[in-house]
Structure 1
Amino acid sequence: MERIIPRQVNNTTLKENFPYLFTEHYQDEFPKADVQAVNKGLLEPMYDLMDRGGKRWRPCLGLAFAECFGRDARKFEDDIYYACGLTEIVHNGSLMADDIEDRSQLRRGLPCTYLKYGLDYAVNASTLMYYIPIAQMNRFITDPALQSRLTSIYNQEMVNLHFGQNWDITWHHGGAGGISMCPTEDQYVQMVLNKTSVLPRMCLRFLAEILELKPQQRSAVIKYIETLGAAFQIQDDIIAVTSEQYAKERGVGEDIREGKRSLMVIHSLNIKQKQAIAKRLDEILNLHTDDVSLLREAIDILITNGSVDYAKNRAASMMAQAWSELERQIPECKAKKDVEALSSYLIDRDI
């Protein structure tokens, strides 16, 4: 990531890393650029968030897939590291923006970027984190034809990301135009395929081009990573309402407070034999309340209705099918076992 976005710049490295800042007619003006503003207003907020950690499973999985399909892990070149690194940068940019949209208070145990640095800095930095990776492509990918294909993939997936986010936001608000609605399970899956699955899918689509995978390999890899993204989101939603550790870090029932229509919520709202309970759950979701007793009431509804178990079983079933198709396309190797182990962790974890 530091190869794509440096932690700090001076007058010389600013021009080396971002030559497009300086036009042909003002090449001699770069020593007058306000480098300190770049470091404090852009790079520091970016790395403040990225340095907080996170699972970083997307780039790790990308590296494992590169090894599965013939690249030597001891000799990974710039193209592989670029494809995996940009995914994490864009992911953190999306988290920064997501925290603003959700009015979250904490991210990875610390105040969200917009609270620590200011709304204007966070908006600007998060947006730049969407653009820098693709602007830096020619430093890592030298083949013009490959550059063109990767740029097209990047643009498609970034559009998909915003469609997915829109569906999620709209359902948080109870529906378009204030009209209350509950998405179907299929609509929920479509949302996560175009939100949570987007960035790992982008990474694997990049790698499929770089590694020149065969059509059957590409199809199995992309379906698998899409399914893993969906299962990861389902597990994330489960953790958000059942994990006491999560509650300590982010507050009780954060997703309930936001009015999130998760797979669990959709399941509970559609149990015909329990319409009175479903109505009560819908009321609490639409309140966007901070009342802990109401949040816990909603969580209890999801548990007693069997919606948590339903979501777990749905995620496990999806993953089993996707893995059965993928494992036939990957030769036996240590990296294949790493992919399977990491995937199991992501859908079985409790935080």
Structure 2
Amino acid sequence: MRSFSEIFESYQTQTDSIIFPVQPENLYGSITYFLRSPGKKIRPVLCLMSNELFKEVHADAYHVANAVELFHNFSLVHDDIMDHSVLRRGRPTLHLKYGENTAILAGDILLIHAYMQLNKINISYREQITHLFSEMACRICEGQQMDIDFEKREIETLKYTDYLRMITFKTSVLLGTAAQIGAIIGLANPQQQNNIYDFGENIGIAFQIQDDFLDAFGDVSITGKQVGSDILENKKTALLLKAFELADPLQKMELKAAMLLIGEERIHTVIGLYKNLKVDEWASTAILHYTEIAFKSLDLIDIPVYKKEKLAELANSLLVRQS
């Protein structure tokens, strides 16, 4: 089985098959700008690797990988608008560079083209894959709404388990479904499909907790994101919800007071409280926990171990982004 970098290169060489019109220039120029931003293309490559886990990569897997990547970017464009984000992958977000209205339309076009890619695959499994893809799309939109709703609720009314459900829908189902669809094209049996889905989903959970961790404790030169942006937006992250669970009554009051501060003072104060509550250590343990669950799911797939090693390497590479 090829390595992530080898499959990444093979994916990159065929992405030109996604052809967009030239006009209106601002609309399609904004899409080109967004798609050409730096990125590891984890989700489409996971789809291809899951196919290759069982059979030689089929041409249809590239169409599905394109659909996954286009959908992912659609969700990022709209997510950045809703979150008022200023940076994405170290560059100005699309809505800041081209305007919010154009960004909304660009996201819509990306979604439409995702389904156009699905329509190119073999009819023998097109309906099944399109159904799974559509279910995934609905879960992600539901997860995004949960995230929006969280921002309106008082911190005391939320639990860490609420957060887990939200990130499973918003983030993890895309990784799980990308892996499962790749396995379908590779003619995996239903149990193998379920196991590879579980692998992707749990890696996704670990990845999202790590993303929350890096927002507070990461290096902007590595992550490409403003440190403490989630804190400035009062986002209900894994770290914040766990901090409230661990805090005593006085510490809860300090956290709530810190969240009313402005700018850098809020960031520094909240991060200081996180450290006092050892939330950074908890996050590292949680990341490891979900990674181990993912690896157990991978172990259950009844194929030679050497074929699974590259997926394990991919998972490990995703979860060592702190340095």
Q: TM-score, normalised by structure 2?
A: 0.88
- The one-character-per-residue Cα deviations of 1:275-330 (angstroms, maximum 9, x if unpaired) are 22222223433x4x652012111011112201111121012112212312322315
Higher RCO, Cα 8 Å, sep 6+: 2
Instruction: Tell me the amino acid that sits aligned with residue 301 of structure 1.
Output: L
Per-residue deviation, 1:180: 5.2
Whether the aligned pair in 1 keeps the contact of 2:243 and 2:277 (CA below 8 Å) is yes
Give 2:23's match in structure 1, choosing from 12, 16, 36.
36
Q: How does 1:64-75 map to 2 (within 5 A)?
A: 64-71=49-56
Give 1:345's match in structure 2, choosing from 317, 320, 323.
317
Q: TM-score, normalised by structure 1?
A: 0.82
Q: State the partner residue of 1:155.
A: 134
Identity among equivalent positions (%) equals 26
Instruction: Tell me the amino acid that sits aligned with residue 322 of structure 1.
Output: A
- How far apart are the structure 2 equivalents of 1:259 and 1:122? 24
Give 2:95's match in structure 1, choosing from 105, 114, 124.
114
- The count of residues paired between Structure 1 and Structure 2 equals 310
- The one-character-per-residue Cα deviations of 1:89-144 (angstroms, maximum 9, x if unpaired) are 111111111111111112122211111111111000112212211133232x131x
Q: State the partner residue of 1:228.
A: 203
Structure 1 residues 238 and 325 mapped into 2: Cα distance closer, same or farther (>3 Å)?
same
Whether the aligned pair in 1 keeps the contact of 2:177 and 2:197 (CA below 8 Å) is no
Structure 1 runs (4+) deviating above 4 angstroms are 179-182, 246-249
Whether the aligned pair in 2 keeps the contact of 1:171 and 1:182 (CA below 8 Å) is no
Q: State the partner residue of 2:249.
A: 275
Structure 1 residues 290 and 332 mapped into 2: Cα distance closer, same or farther (>3 Å)?
farther
Give 2:292's match in structure 1, choosing from 300, 315, 320.
320
Structure 1 residues 238 and 228 mapped into 2: Cα distance closer, same or farther (>3 Å)?
same
- How far apart are the structure 1 equivalents of 2:294 and 2:225? 32
Give 1:88's match in structure 2, choosing from 50, 64, 69.
69
Gaps of at least 5 residues in structure 1 are: 10-34
Per-residue deviation, 1:36: 2.5
Is it true that 1:256 corresponds to 2:256 in the alignment? Answer: no
- How far apart are the structure 1 equivalents of 2:222 and 2:179? 33
Instruction: Tell me the amino acid that sits aligned with residue 122 of structure 2.
Output: T
Structure 1 residues 219 and 202 mapped into 2: Cα distance closer, same or farther (>3 Å)?
closer
Q: State the partner residue of 1:332.
A: 304
Whether the aligned pair in 2 keeps the contact of 1:240 and 1:247 (CA below 8 Å) is no
Instruction: Tell me the amino acid that sits aligned with residue 111 of structure 1.
Output: P
Q: State the partner residue of 1:5.
A: 18
Q: State the partner residue of 1:169.
A: 148
When the two chains are superposed, the root-mean-square deviation of aligned CA atoms in Å is 2.2
Instruction: Tell me the amino acid that sits aligned with residue 228 of structure 2.
Output: G
Q: State the partner residue of 2:122.
A: 142
Gaps of at least 5 residues in structure 2 are: 1-13
Greater alpha carbon shift after TM alignment, 232-241 vs 208-217: 208-217
Whether the aligned pair in 2 keeps the contact of 1:268 and 1:305 (CA below 8 Å) is yes
